[in-house]
Amino acid sequence: MVLVSAVRDYINRMLQDISGMKVLILDSHTVSVVSVGYSQSELLQKEVFLVELVDSVSKSKESMSHLKAVYFLRPTSENIQHLRRQLASPRFGEYHLFFSNILKDTQIHNLADSDEQEVVQQIQEFYADFVAIDPYHFTLNMPSNHIYMLPAVVDTSNLPHFCDRVVDGIASIFLSLKRRPIIRYQRTSDIAKRIAQETARLMYQKESGLFDFRRMEVSPLLLVIDRRDDPVVPLLNQWTYQAMVHELIGIQDNKVDLRNIGKLPKDQQEVVLSSEQDAFFKANMYENFGDIGMNIKRLVDEFQQISKSNQSIQTIEDMAKFVDKYPEYRKMHGNVSKHVTLVTEMSKIVEERKLMLVSQTEQELACNGGQVAAFEAVTNLLNNESISDIDRLRLVMLYALRYEKESPVQLMQLFNKLASRSAKYKPGLVQFVLKQAGVDKRTGDLFGNRDLLNIARNMARGLKGVENVYTQHQPLLFQTMESISKGRLRDVDYPYVGNHFQQGRPQEVVIFIVGGTTYEESRSVALQNASNSGIRFILGGSVVLNSKRFLKDLEEGQRMARSSTAVV
Amino acid sequence: MATRNRTVVYRRHRDAVKSVRAPLFSSASGSGGPVIEMASLLGSNRSSYAPLSTEDPGPSRDAFTVGLPPSWVDDSEQVAANIQRARAKMAELVKAHAKALMPSFEDGKEDQHLIEALTQEITDILRRSEKRLQKLSASGSAEDSNIRKNVQRSLATDLQNLSVDLRRKQSTYLKRLQQQKEGPDGVDLEMNLNGNKSRLEDDEFSDVGFNEQQTVKIKKGQQEREREINQVVQSVNELAQIMKDLSVLVIDQGTIVDRIDYNIQTVAVSVDEGLKQLQKAERTQKKGGMVRCATVLVIMCFVMLVLLILKEILF
């Protein structure tokens, strides 16, 4: 609740003191921020009768001076330019400007210069600069995410932008929570270190007045880690509801776009999957596919009963009851259709791509040992005609990440087989991923085969057997969270920034994964929070990954790395 | 959650800029110093807006022209006012219900009348508002059609909530009324009859009286109930009609239509579509046969004229 309610509070405060008819003007980022936490009908209740994007406001010429304009923008230079133009020839009666992050003094001066008609009534900073998709999960929806993979020498122009955006996002999280954290970062990642240091500089030096909140006994912890420490989780196929929808179809800002999937009725072409608004989804978002099927069947049965009773209207009282309950009935109808459509489409995709078969091998590669058996399984699947290219690529990548050092000959064989089978994907990509996230680059014990304790644990698990072969994988994040809960996160692997230090365990932890999070990890965080261990974890990333997005980032990164070496 | 107000810094800079600009302009305009009227600060009382256009625009832009809001705003304000009135009446109705349910010595006929009158009034207000709301979409220009649509939606949601509320209050009142009526007579009048039959053996005297009294009560009860049922039917019908009309306008919460980003997208799409249609229309018109016909005719006219002149010259 905490992230979504922060955003809602900000928006409420923006709108509450301004009376009369209002128009809300957003930019392409703040649209996402507002849309996941606030609905159109709630805006209407607050008398906001028009919502526009800042770049399209200038195109219209009509003057609507009976409306008051509420702007909510990110303080970027383009937005300031748009604003200056609009202030010079104002369309609305009053202008109330809210920015989602810290404004520079020059920006304020520029705006004041353009405001000849003195239409601006207030300028405030309301720090809602993140997209709160779930109660404990946020994202920054950054467009060029792949930049994090490139070393600083390669791309000198875009990397500072990337880091600035991340630092702004993290700062806004802590400003909305009103806390100032102790910062730790992953030692092996340069970009994590850079982001951690810049955040520390912002919070403790540049804007130390702004961040000077009431100190609690134990400071919260900000941990900045790199996606490349756990490259396995975005590559795996998922079987829990929310993660599965994102993996197979794609969720953006809690919306699912089904238009490319098949022929669907108009009201099911785009649907909303939000745990705040949909009780069924909230109860089932972390359940596995089999259980979801059963729960949906139960939901459909309930609904059928209700609609049957609605059809047998005989007395006046029945009719009155029907009219009373009609809105709820309609809502339930929409909800049931939505979930049934989603599950049907996903089952179709699972059938087509033979994902049950592929995923079994994937989970084996990620969790258990046995190089020989793994090699055989992967080879068989590569030979199988009905497996799609992207799945073949993922299998080879997972194998390479696991058995990088064992039997390089067999690895070469797999590369060749992949090249011969898939026209689109080149094995160079697998080598790229090894270069980025290979065993030398990783800090954490991804496969549980580094220290004796983990090996023993794995063996015990192998002997005991698992409940569900398809969901046996635990993301590395789970181990990290456990270490934090026990206060045993190693200083060697995750050093503190500057002279920060923390005694004991923190009570609030924000983990930021540079390069993106996955829904499997957010599920892990939610389950950990639900287990009442006394620590509240919040997870965030630059984007929310699925295997398609991760592979695209890898391709982009590879392309840029190649073009830069060509130049050099 | 932390916020930071930068208005002070902003105002300071704006005033500084103004004073720098002022000496440049005071030489241009005749009157002493520009007077920048902040008409927008007149507050939310929209009816006090009046066009404050200046006679000489001049380089200093003395006053900010504030226009009247469009006419449909009056309609929407009327509907909003009606909704407020309806809410006040509902509060009265609740009180009247409570009073009628209290045990009293009189018949309670005037309470019934009051309740009926109030219910009728509220339903009337709702129906009129709903009709006015439908009219809202027809009037007005295309540019603020979005705003109109949103205003409509918001008022429609309020109206629908009110009608659902009214329906619920009515049904609880009737239920309690029925409970009360059956209460003092026992569980059920019919049950009483049966119970009475068993007592026939016990008391020969009392059963005759009981029977008569009960028949009278039954008849009166039936008449009253019939009337109430008719009333219920009528109000249910009306409310159902209102809800059906409104449901087209109201947004379903939790669906894609309730998402802000979806609504922005559809606006952009429809504006694009509109532009495309206009361009297509323009093209068809240019290509149109009419233009070609007209050009041909004009050329023919000229040719004939030339031929005529030639004929005159040659003959």
The residue ranking higher by pLDDT, B190 or A372, is A372
Cβ count near A252 (within 10 Å): 15
Cβ count near B125 (within 10 Å): 19
Residues of chain A contacting residue B233, judged by C-beta atoms under 8 Å apart: 316
**C-alpha to C-alpha distance for A276 and A38, rounded to whole angstroms:** 11
Chain A residue closest in CA terms to B257: A40
Residues whose CB is less than 8 angstroms from the CB of residue B94 and which lie 6 or more positions away in sequence, other chains included? B169
Handedness of CA A360, A366, A372, A377 (dihedral sign): positive
B259 touching chain A per CB within 8 A? yes
Q: Which of A93, A176, A324 sits opposite B2 (nearest CB)?
A: A176
Which of A525-539, B20-34, B234-248 comes out lowest in average pLDDT?
B20-34
Whether A485 and A510 have beta carbons less than 8 Å apart is answered as no
User: Which pLDDT score, from 0 to 100, does residue B219 have?
Assistant: 75
The residue ranking higher by pLDDT, A453 or A194, is A194
Chain B residue closest in CA terms to A102: B4
**Binding-face residues of B in 152-181 toward A, CB within 8 A:** 153-154, 157, 160, 164, 167-168, 171
User: Which pLDDT score, from 0 to 100, does residue B7 have?
Assistant: 93
User: Which pLDDT score, from 0 to 100, does residue B106 have?
Assistant: 67
Residue A149 DSSP symbol: G
DSSP β-bridge partners for residue A51: A24
Residues whose CB is less than 8 angstroms from the CB of residue B306 and which lie 6 or more positions away in sequence, other chains included? none
Interface touch A40/B251, C-beta < 8 Å: yes
Interface touch B258/A41, C-beta < 8 Å: yes
The residue ranking higher by pLDDT, A442 or A568, is A442
Residues of chain A contacting residue B164, judged by C-beta atoms under 8 Å apart: 324, 327
The residue ranking higher by pLDDT, B288 or A118, is A118
User: Which pLDDT score, from 0 to 100, does residue A236 have?
Assistant: 93
Question: Three-state DSSP class for A312?
Answer: coil
Q: How far is CA B279 from CA A322, A474, B273, in A?
A: 49, 57, 10
B97 touching chain A per CB within 8 A? no
User: Which pLDDT score, from 0 to 100, does residue A154 have?
Assistant: 66
Provide mean pLDDT across the span B282-301: 85
Q: Mean pLDDT over all residues of chain A? A: 88
**C-alpha to C-alpha distance for A72 and A51, rounded to whole angstroms:** 11
Interface touch B146/A50, C-beta < 8 Å: yes
Which of A266-275, A436-445, B230-239 comes out lowest in average pLDDT?
B230-239
Compute, in degrees rounded to 10, the torsion defined by CA atoms B152, B157, B163, B164: 160
Task: Please say if the pLDDT value at position B145 is more than 80.
Answer: no
Residue B211 pLDDT grade (very low, low, confident, very high; cuts 50, 70, 90):
low
Whether A271 and A256 have beta carbons less than 8 Å apart is answered as yes
**C-alpha to C-alpha distance for A462 and A464, rounded to whole angstroms:** 6
Cβ count near A167 (within 10 Å): 21
Kindly tell me the burial class for residue B172, based on how many C-beta atoms sit within 10 Å of its own C-beta (0-12, 13-18, 19 or more). exposed
Interface touch A334/B254, C-beta < 8 Å: yes
User: Which pLDDT score, from 0 to 100, does residue B166 have?
Assistant: 83
Please choose, from the candidates B22, B18, B60, B67, the residue with its C-alpha nearest in 3D space to the C-alpha of residue B42: B67
Residue type, B271: V
Question: Three-state DSSP class for A104?
Answer: coil
B150 touching chain A per CB within 8 A? yes
The residue ranking higher by pLDDT, B90 or B112, is B90
Residues whose CB is less than 8 angstroms from the CB of residue B4 and which lie 6 or more positions away in sequence, other chains included? A102, A124, A125, A210
B151 touching chain A per CB within 8 A? yes
Shortest Cα distance, chain B CAs vs residue A3, angstroms: 11
Q: How far is CA A125 from CA A105, A129, A165, A210, in A?
A: 13, 10, 16, 11
Residues of chain A contacting residue B58, judged by C-beta atoms under 8 Å apart: none
Which of A332-336, B191-195, B292-296 comes out lowest in average pLDDT?
B191-195
Which of A270-279, A554-563, B136-145, B254-263 comes out lowest in average pLDDT?
B136-145
In chain B, the percentage of residues whose pLDDT exceeds 90 is: 10
Please choose, from the candidates B311, B262, B289, B156, the residue with its C-alpha nearest in 3D space to the C-alpha of residue A257: B262
The residue ranking higher by pLDDT, A468 or A549, is A549
Task: Please say if the pLDDT value at position A66 is more than 80.
Answer: yes
Interface touch A320/B171, C-beta < 8 Å: yes
Shortest Cα distance, chain B CAs vs residue A50, angstroms: 5
B25 touching chain A per CB within 8 A? no
Q: A404 in the Ramachandran plot: left (φ > 0), alpha (ψ -120 to 50) or beta?
A: alpha
Interface touch A21/B171, C-beta < 8 Å: no
Chain B residue closest in CA terms to A19: B44
Chain B residue closest in CA terms to A269: B256
User: Which pLDDT score, from 0 to 100, does residue B307 have?
Assistant: 95
Chain B interface mutation, best of A84, A116, A332, highest count of B Cβ atoms under 10 Å: A116
Place of tokens 């006219």: B301
Q: B165 in the Ramachandran plot: left (φ > 0), alpha (ψ -120 to 50) or beta?
A: alpha
**C-alpha to C-alpha distance for B266 and B286, rounded to whole angstroms:** 30
Task: Please say if the pLDDT value at position A344 is more than 50.
Answer: yes
For B218-225, which contacts have Cβ atoms below 8 Å and span 24 or more sequence positions? B218/B189, B221/B181, B221/B189, B224/B181
| pLDDT tens track for B24-71 | 655 444 443 344 333 333 333 443 343 443 333 333 333 344 456 777
Interface touch A316/B233, C-beta < 8 Å: yes
Task: Please say if the pLDDT value at position A349 is more than 80.
Answer: yes
Task: Please say if the pLDDT value at position B99 is more than 90.
Answer: no
B40 touching chain A per CB within 8 A? yes
The residue ranking higher by pLDDT, B35 or A255, is A255
Which of A513-522, A553-562, B109-118 comes out lowest in average pLDDT?
B109-118
Check: pTM over 0.90? Answer yes or no. Answer: no
Residues of chain A contacting residue B10, judged by C-beta atoms under 8 Å apart: 108, 111-112, 120, 123
Interface touch A9/B243, C-beta < 8 Å: no
Q: How far is CA B145 from CA B70, B136, B149, B271, B273, in A?
A: 11, 10, 6, 11, 15
**C-alpha to C-alpha distance for A85 and A149, rounded to whole angstroms:** 37
Residues of chain A contacting residue B168, judged by C-beta atoms under 8 Å apart: 324
Exposure letters A87-115 (e unless 16+ CB within 10 A, then b): beebbbbbbbbbbbbbbeeebbebbbbbb
**DSSP secondary structure string for all residues of A418-430:** HHHH-SS--THHH
Residues of chain A contacting residue B41, judged by C-beta atoms under 8 Å apart: 94
Residue A294 pLDDT grade (very low, low, confident, very high; cuts 50, 70, 90):
very high
Which of A240-254, B120-134, B260-274 comes out lowest in average pLDDT?
B260-274
**C-alpha to C-alpha distance for B97 and A101, rounded to whole angstroms:** 54
Whether A201 and A171 have beta carbons less than 8 Å apart is answered as no
Q: Which of B61, B251, B260 sits opposite A51 (nearest CB)?
A: B260
Provide mean pLDDT across the span B5-24: 86
Place of tokens 């009446």: B89
B251 touching chain A per CB within 8 A? yes
Chain A interface mutation, best of B62, B154, B233, highest count of A Cβ atoms under 10 Å: B154
B194 touching chain A per CB within 8 A? no
Residues whose CB is less than 8 angstroms from the CB of residue A284 and which lie 6 or more positions away in sequence, other chains included? A241, A291, A292, A295
Residues of chain B contacting residue A53, judged by C-beta atoms under 8 Å apart: 264, 268
Q: Which of A26, A52, A123 sits opposite B7 (nearest CB)?
A: A123
Task: Please say if the pLDDT value at position A202 is more than 90.
Answer: yes
Residue B280 pLDDT grade (very low, low, confident, very high; cuts 50, 70, 90):
confident
The residue ranking higher by pLDDT, A492 or B214, is A492
Interface touch A277/B253, C-beta < 8 Å: yes
Query: Which pairing describes strands A131-134 and A92-99: parallel, antiparallel, or unpaired?
Result: unpaired
Residues of chain A contacting residue B71, judged by C-beta atoms under 8 Å apart: none
**C-alpha to C-alpha distance for A242 and A463, rounded to whole angstroms:** 30
User: Which pLDDT score, from 0 to 100, does residue A183 have?
Assistant: 95
Shortest Cα distance, chain A CAs vs residue B21, angstroms: 10
Residue A462 pLDDT grade (very low, low, confident, very high; cuts 50, 70, 90):
low
B66 touching chain A per CB within 8 A? yes
Question: Three-state DSSP class for A230?
Answer: coil
Q: Which of A34, A39, A108 sits opposite B6 (nearest CB)?
A: A108
User: Which pLDDT score, from 0 to 100, does residue A8 have?
Assistant: 94
Chain B residue closest in CA terms to A173: B1
Residues whose CB is less than 8 angstroms from the CB of residue A27 and which lie 6 or more positions away in sequence, other chains included? A53, A54, A55, A73, A74, A76, A79
The residue ranking higher by pLDDT, A361 or B56, is A361
Interface touch B254/A117, C-beta < 8 Å: no
Residue A287 DSSP symbol: S
Shortest Cα distance, chain B CAs vs residue A375, angstroms: 46
